[in-house]
Amino acid sequence: MSTWGHLDPSGRRSSQFVSAFPFLLILFSFEKVTLYSKHIGKTPEKIEEDIRHPKYFSPSEAVEYGIIDKVTIQ
């Protein structure tokens, strides 16, 4: 079977890739949170809480949070 699937008798595409997709989203989300946690210095729980909703940082807030190291003005 191809990784991308095949057409089943009803004409719909089916594949192992599609059934694994939710698992991959969870895995990538976990990896993303772990990476952010490691580099930002906050707990994975805090990172998960903070990325649930969009948040916009000013440059100084981004430095305080740990996303960036410093702000330069040219």
| Weakly modelled stretches of the chain, pLDDT under 70 | 1-21, 23-24
The pLDDT value recorded for residue 1 is 45
| 11, part of any domain | no
The pLDDT value recorded for residue 18 is 54
* Domains contained in the chain, number: 1
| 20, part of any domain | no
The pLDDT value recorded for residue 45 is 92
| 44, part of any domain | yes
| 47, part of any domain | yes
Q: Which amino acid is present at 32?
A: K
| 73, part of any domain | yes
The pLDDT value recorded for residue 73 is 87
Q: How many CB atoms lie within 10 A of CB 16?
A: 12
Q: Using a CB cutoff of 8 Å and minimum separation of 24, what contacts does 59-68 make?
A: 65/40, 66/39, 66/40, 66/41, 66/42, 67/40
Structure tokens at 72: 């330069």
| Range of the structural domain that residue 71 is part of | 30-74
| 5, part of any domain | no
